[in-house]
Structure 1
């Protein structure tokens, strides 16, 4: 990817909470709800958990790392918070943890699949096991939690599922195959599952979103290629340094966007891919049917003139 190939938005992008997303506008809007956030010990996940707590939700934190700091931060906002040490790729453990959360806090109303990883290796310098590990963390864990909590949401007729995605899932990204492929899969799965909900008349009650958190200078976002990859592809390594200059989005923006989506105020964007740096009210005001008709905020393939994506 070459930074010069990217277009520049005519409308300035947001990098911190704005307008409807400032904390005081969302205080208490999710009061009494139960939220689960994976990968919430630090960075974007920690900001998501804190934003949901600020909105009144009781928060369950899942991470392999010590998340006691996140738990304390959430509890300081006068909500209940629990932390479970959990490998999100361990399906049996995840099911047990989600069951324990229901017993301790209640049924899950909000699920944010945030845990993720990248390897930054081309296929010729990777192993299948390494490639697949990205899928396990970025895709398998997401789908296993969805399979676990969505039936309950359908039964109760309410819920929000947010899958933290990436711009990489919308582009051809060499040297990051496992990350790109797994994020693309999640964007597509989010849209497809939402269509199933629509078919069952549940679209207005249960919403799913795939969310690009913006250019956050997190440990994952600011990661560089391993030394051996950088040595073989020096031009790509230099280009990555250029990309790092654009990482200026505060993780709190993603956090507050998640809290806002959980309130149901942006149902028009359900099933879609959304970049948190865009004005959420401006985009949602276009209406779901208009956005879908124009093929916006979704993955697609275009063809040369006179050809269409036929049956």
Structure 2
């Protein structure tokens, strides 16, 4: 049986590991060909995608570098053709307060977590306009509402992602492109494990209505729905997927 994304091509940034890898695997299982931009190799992701019988392109890309992003877009077009889905997932985290955050650290986090979303979306926006069902997914975080201590730059950047999502959904609506963001709770990934320990994950799970750790599969399942034709009337939203951590 054909998947919901049969014949589609998706770009997943930060798809070499963590949530991005699982998103790439899930979208390929639904029938999409996958292009991954990551600062690291994405060979494990390649194996998962190709095991689902889909085409794969992986490239080492710094999403905050416009030239690298545009070169990646050219590679994708040559290897896979036009793109229907953009998943902006690449991000870094930093556990610091105002006093301990330098301006360079602040700018670097925003360059990857915000500028990268702008640059990647811009590089593929004509494809999205030409697609019969263009989709953009931006990775936000429940931390924007929770605002935990020592996450100043990260929370601030996610606020910018939410604003970008709302405004972009308006700008792209006349082409029937949907733009949505996801706000997961804490998920064990190579990025989060650099800053957080087991005690933090256990404590955080107890703050949720659902007393278990969130998995990358929880996030990937929602992404697959939002980029499908079934979600064609959902746009401009930040979808909390956090086990009931934020109740609003």
Q: TM-score, normalised by structure 2?
A: 0.88
1:163 aligns with 2:128: no
Structure 1 residues 42, 225: closer, same or farther in 2, change over 3 A? Answer: closer
Decide whether the 8 Å contact of 1:131 with 1:177 is kept in 2: no
Q: Using the alignment, how far apart are the partners of 2:130 and 2:231 within structure 1?
A: 22
1:103 aligns with 2:78: yes
Partner of 1:260: 225
Q: Using the alignment, how far apart are the partners of 2:87 and 2:191 within structure 1?
A: 17
Query: Alpha-carbon deviation of 1:276?
Result: 3.0
Partner of 1:65: 40
Q: Secondary structure at the match of 2:229?
A: coil
Residue deviations 1:146-177 (CA, integer Å, cap 9, x gap): 11112332244531010111012234344212
The equivalences for 1:1-311 within 5 A come to 28-198=3-173, 201-202=174-175, 205-224=176-195, 242-243=203-204, 248-277=213-242
Query: Alpha-carbon deviation of 1:190?
Result: 0.5
Query: Alpha-carbon deviation of 1:241?
Result: 6.7
Q: Secondary structure at the match of 1:124?
A: coil
Q: TM-score, normalised by structure 1?
A: 0.71
Unaligned runs of 5+ in 2: none
Structure 1 residues 253, 245: closer, same or farther in 2, change over 3 A? Answer: same
Q: RMSD of the TM alignment (CA)? A: 2.5
Decide whether the 8 Å contact of 1:71 with 1:83 is kept in 2: yes
Query: Alpha-carbon deviation of 1:115?
Result: 0.6
Q: Using the alignment, how far apart are the partners of 1:258 and 1:95 within structure 2?
A: 24
Decide whether the 8 Å contact of 2:10 with 2:32 is kept in 1: yes
